[in-house]
Structure 1
Amino acid sequence: MNHNHLRVFSGRANRPLAERIARNLGDSLGNLRVESFPDSETSVRIEEDVRGRDVFIVQPTCPPVNENLMELLVILDAFKRASPARVTVVLPYYGYARQDRKDQGRVPISAKLAANLLTAAGANRVLTMDLHAAQIQGFFDIPVDHLMAVPVFIQHIRQSGLMDQNVVFVSPDEGRVKMTLEYQKKLGGELSIVDKRRSSPTETEQANLIGASLEGKVAIMFDDMITTAGSICGAAQVCKMKGAREIHVFATHGVLCGAAIHRLREAPIERICITDSIPLPAEKAIPKITVLSIDYLLADAIRRIHDNESISALIRSV
């Protein structure tokens, strides 16, 4: 397999993940200098020849979202002017994904705006993971490869021995039923759904459980992200009230802002597994959080894109 023309570069948002991806590809990161001027403007210089190369830029637009997004746009512009054969943006986490529609009058659709900016800045292709809404792929006028963390989580669940117990897969709300069913089909077990209802514009109420009984069983919940942790902790409380013996949570993106860590620490959750799509700061690394790496999954996807092979096979093979 010839990777002579493949090169992985990274911004500052999640360089450790980018380094692991490059190692999985049997290479080192490309030489890209990213700094800040005294007035906080971003300075970028590509310090190697990329003419005719197949370039992959790893840069999740995680908090601080605006800084990381602007840095990515400047990096893209630098590469667009350096004549690579193709530039693929690797977005393990896509910021602004929750602003994907007009849910009230006179508001923007910022997920579409971000897609337009990336395309205008010079991206030829996007590789991303577990978008908050899958239809965001349609906001791009360039090819989008949408991965899911399913293979990473399933491998961990199988190795951990969780499926040796009496397991119920619990969807934390109606919107995550399809995702939860994917895991149930591949692993077995029963299914339940937490009935989440909005009690006010800023608060939700979780009280009912639809489906299999949780009495004395192990509940496993999946979500695409944990932001303030209000929803997932509320769902965990319902599971506990309904008799769950243990509660395990799997979420792709650990945004963990606001009171998230306090809520997770106090919640009746045995363990929370997140991926390294977003770096986990030391002050948020509480004992019940386990970080699983998506480096090999992204590396395999990059290899397949470079060699014009199927990406969907990564999910089907689980």
Structure 2
Amino acid sequence: MDLIYITICLITSFSLWLLRYYATLNRAARRRPLLPFSVNITLPKFMTFNLLQRTFFLLGLPLTSIFAFANTIPADIATEENSATQQAPIIQAVEENPFKEQFILSYVEYPGAEPYLKVIQEIYTELGFNVKSIATPALTGITLLSKGKVDGDAYRLGKVVTTFDDLVLVKPELIRATLVLLCIQEVECDRAVLDNSQNTLLTNARALEYLKEVDVRATLIKDEVIQHTVEMLVSGQVEYATFMIDERQIIPKGMQMVKLRNIFLYHVIHKKHAALLPQIEQKLRHKRRLLHTTLFNPKKRS
């Protein structure tokens, strides 16, 4: 750009000087026709040397000004001249606020399950993810995970997960649980409840998977939103419901309980994250021990 600017300045200046020189000679020739040299410059009738000089001046001055102004702007400062100083703050910003891939974690809202959800969230945070947790109905969550719409599910029944080819169980189990029959206080509560077609049982698809070997004759109401279970029992809409409790053996206040069978819940990931499985399982084993120390003390509730 410097070379172009200098060239335009020189051409403009030389043209103006040359026109002025020839104009001077032309005037001198008209005044003194017997000069030892002749000047034979022919211009169009509508143009004089003064007009031509002004034309060059008016064309040359804007071009010179434009290039002079452009030359004062360090156009390449961000990419060439100052690349080192420009790049330094960008690198520093990345180091201070590293980009983290999002990990979407689905979970079922279940009474008392918050500590388990927190453990899973911590694992992926430590692995460098931004964890986003979304509560879903049970069947919706497993469907989203199978389709790859979410990355993992906090806790799922192992027996259910094994029916999906694109899901991976994370071992060991996260929760050792018990499937129970909950009854309101005013009714008799035992396994015979399941055999009586006059009874209405609130349950869900996951619980029924574990009751296949039981001849359940009670009328079934299926609700995949677990939080509705206690609400419907307390409100008197139903008298019986299947429920799941962990090793703390905590049941909703005012309810009777009959144990049906032991079950295991596992953390589950989509197979696209299978490469992370060793790291996830290592962290899970460590955090599970800490969680059990915190949650389960010798004085368990019965």
- Does TM, normalized by the shorter one, top 0.5? no
For normalisation by structure 1, the TM-score amounts to: 0.27
Which one has more relative contact order, counting CA pairs under 8 Å at least 6 apart? 2
Say which structure is richer in strand.
Answer: 1
Which is higher, the Rg of structure 1 or of structure 2?
A: 2
Say which structure is richer in helix.
Answer: 2
